[in-house]
Amino acid sequence: MEGYDATTYGAAFADVYDAWYQGISDVDATVATLSDLAAGGPVLELAVGTGRLAVPLAAGGVDVTGVDASAEMLAQLAERDPDGTVTAVLGDMVADLPDGPFALAFVAYNSLFNLTSAESQQACFAAVAARLAPGGRFAVEAFVPDEPFREGDDVSVRTLTADTVILAVTRNRAADQSIHGQFVELTNSVGGQGGVRLRPWAIRYATVAELDGFAAAAGLALEHRWEDFTRAPFGPASPRHVSVYRRAG
């Protein structure tokens, strides 16, 4: 998508992220599982966003550092976490990761796919592996792509009220495993407060097997694979997965 970069998503979604996505997963179960995986050690969250997971994880006594490319997202994190229990780092989740070592790194809810090339996703695995302590883990939560991969353009209605229409516009390209999208928000102009707001996003998705290949190349071995952070069993019909990779001890 022309004009789109690593900062675009946060600038477009920071003001609505918590309202739109507060129910996307079971926060309590996710935090409990992450805490168990960390086993008392420090944790690094990639694409920390507004701190939906990082803040309650830190509230449980875990030392949490969160990296995000969006200043707008980190501003929302600061509002959620006024005491600074989460160490926030503005930067890329490949080139700007803090040194560590960390007992656990994780990237939640498809955020790895915000890296829009296979090369950058592979580089992320390598960068994380270099910052894990011996025996440290990298947990990746992502959707399982449909196969064959989808091709074509779609338009659907996300929200429809008397004052607001939000359309979801997507372009699916199977050849490069990409989805480019816009949420087009149309609001009533009564009183001069309405208009059009565009919220662009872009991802490059990867299959489970491809992620396993990235991990192996980075020296990480699969330890667990669940359907979600409740640790439900993963199976052929699972729409999502949580894959936990471990560095040799």
- pLDDT tens digits along 176-192: 999 999 999 999 866 55
Residue labelled with tokens 């020296």: 219
- Intervals of CATH 2.20.25.570 along the chain: 152-204
How far CA 131 is from CA of 18, 36, 104, 169, in Å, comes to 29, 19, 9, 38
CA 214/CA 246 separation, integer angstroms:
13
CATH number of 8-145+205-247: 3.40.50.150
The per-residue pLDDT for 192 is 57
- Intervals of CATH 3.40.50.150 along the chain: 8-145+205-247
CA 248/CA 242 separation, integer angstroms:
19
CA 149/CA 219 separation, integer angstroms:
28
Domain 152-204 coded CATH 2.20.25.570: yes
pTM for the predicted model, two decimal places: 0.95
**Span 196-208, mean pLDDT?**
97
**Residue 157: helix, strand or coil by DSSP?**
strand
CA 25/CA 111 separation, integer angstroms:
14
**Residue 20: helix, strand or coil by DSSP?**
helix
CA 88/CA 56 separation, integer angstroms:
14
